């Protein structure tokens, strides 16, 4: 395996091109927006799973928290778009750091179970606090304020295309930031912890601190995507909190350990579900099958498959 990060500039360009093409190929900009929002959540999950080796079932909780907190800030405190997103980002980081700090006190299956337990707890807390969250019905009438800075309005984001452009810019920023994070001293240490925690500890790293920061970053990005999702739907459903499995499946199908893979995973999940949902209401059975196939035969996910195909082609040319 080569270094942890191949073609940094190349993958940024590939993503930028995809962002331009996506709304042109797909039937609606709303579908394209949905892909990017879930790709962001998968990206955040990938930082934990693919790079830190941490399988977290708490991603739905961060996603739901971002949706609720941004919505509550907009509805009750009447804050604008950027402040609402910032609220989601910061509170997501805080919640994830707290959950992470407790969950990483155990490793392996117990760690996974703890993240699941926190997620279930969060679900029932949101269910109980129906004055704030709308309980079972979800939080209705979530606004989508215009994009404004210091009183100057850039766009009202009313049309689906305008909102897509905004989300695409946010996605590109997050994608490039993630690339930087992985290539930083922090990111390289996270990979080292995934590879061999005892050794990482022996060469001087306090591995707990690194895992907590990984959780905080992942939680921040996931909450941001949750907030963007609530603004897309004008609605924050309770089911957001049960998104953990879907986010994990997108990450694994796309390719854990590859940022481009997260975009591919989210893209195929959203597109396939959009097509299949009309034909067959039990389409999720097929996604389950796809997951089994990937885990059994394509360990690097879709991106891993593409990579090995490219390598094979290049080798043939050399001969």
| Contacts to another protein by CB under 8 A | 1-4, 180-181, 183-189, 191-192, 195-196, 198-207, 209-210, 213, 217
User: CB neighbours (10 Å) of residue 90?
Assistant: 15
- 144/211 with CB nearer another protein: 211
Rounded least distance, CB 110 to another protein, Å:
21
Rounded least distance, CB 130 to another protein, Å:
38
Rounded least distance, CB 195 to another protein, Å:
4
Rounded least distance, CB 181 to another protein, Å:
5
Return d(Cα 286, Cα 192) in angstroms, integer: 35
- 3/131 with CB nearer another protein: 3
Return d(Cα 239, Cα 245) in angstroms, integer: 12
- 80/100 with CB nearer another protein: 100
Dihedrals phi, psi of 244, to nearest 5 degrees = -50, -50
- 179/226 with CB nearer another protein: 179
- 132/205 with CB nearer another protein: 205
Token couple for 76: 């009750």
> Among all chains, which residue has been given the structure tokens 């396939």?
272
Q: How many residues does the chain have?
A: 319
Helices (H) and strands (E) in the chain, counts: 14, 4
Return d(Cα 69, Cα 57) in angstroms, integer: 20
- 23/255 with CB nearer another protein: 255
Rounded least distance, CB 201 to another protein, Å:
5
> Among all chains, which residue has been given the structure tokens 């949101």?
126
Rounded least distance, CB 252 to another protein, Å:
18
Q: Which residues pair with 236 in a beta bridge?
A: 139
Rounded least distance, CB 4 to another protein, Å:
8
Beta strands at 235-236 and 152-155: parallel, antiparallel or unpaired: unpaired
**What's the distance, CA 214 to chain centroid?**
13
Nearest Cα neighbor of 85 from 176, 166, 172, 165 is 166
Dihedrals phi, psi of 26, to nearest 5 degrees = -80, 155
- 24/203 with CB nearer another protein: 203
């Amino acid at each position: 395996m080569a270094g942890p990060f191949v073609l940094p500039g190349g993958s940024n360009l590939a993503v930028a091109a995809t962002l331009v093409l996506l709304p042109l190929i797909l039937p609606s900009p709303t579908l394209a927006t949905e892909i990017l929002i879930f790709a962001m959540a998968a990206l955040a999950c990938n930082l934990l799973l693919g790079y830190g080796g941490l399988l977290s079932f708490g991603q739905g909780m961060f996603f739901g928290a971002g949706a609720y907190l941004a919505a509550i800030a907009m509805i009750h405190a009447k804050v604008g778009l950027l402040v609402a997103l910032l609220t989601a980002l910061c509170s997501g980081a805080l919640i994830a750091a707290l959950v992470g700090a407790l969950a990483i006190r155990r490793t392996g299956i117990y760690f996974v179970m703890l993240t699941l337990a926190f997620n279930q707890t969060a679900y029932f807390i949101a269910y109980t606090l129906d004055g704030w969250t709308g309980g079972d019905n979800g939080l209705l009438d979530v606004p989508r304020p215009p994009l404004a800075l210091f009183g100057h309005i850039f766009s009202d984001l009313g049309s689906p295309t305008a909102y897509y452009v905004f989300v695409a810019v946010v996605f590109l920023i997050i994608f490039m930031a993630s690339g930087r994070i992985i290539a930083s001293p922090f990111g390289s240490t996270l990979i080292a912890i995934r590879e061999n925690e005892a050794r990482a500890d022996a060469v001087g790293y306090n591995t707990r601190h690194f895992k907590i920061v990984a959780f905080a970053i992942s939680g921040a990005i996931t909450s941001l995507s949750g907030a963007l999702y609530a603004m897309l739907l004008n609605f924050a459903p309770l089911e957001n909190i049960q998104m953990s499995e879907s986010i994990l499946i997108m990450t694994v199908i796309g390719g854990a350990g590859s940022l481009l893979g997260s975009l591919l995973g989210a893209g195929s999940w959203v597109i396939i579900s959009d097509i299949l949902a009309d034909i067959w209401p039990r389409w999720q059975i097929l996604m389950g099958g796809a997951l089994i196939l990937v885990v059994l035969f394509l360990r690097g996910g879709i991106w891993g498959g593409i990579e090995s195909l490219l390598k094979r082609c290049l080798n043939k040319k050399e001969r």
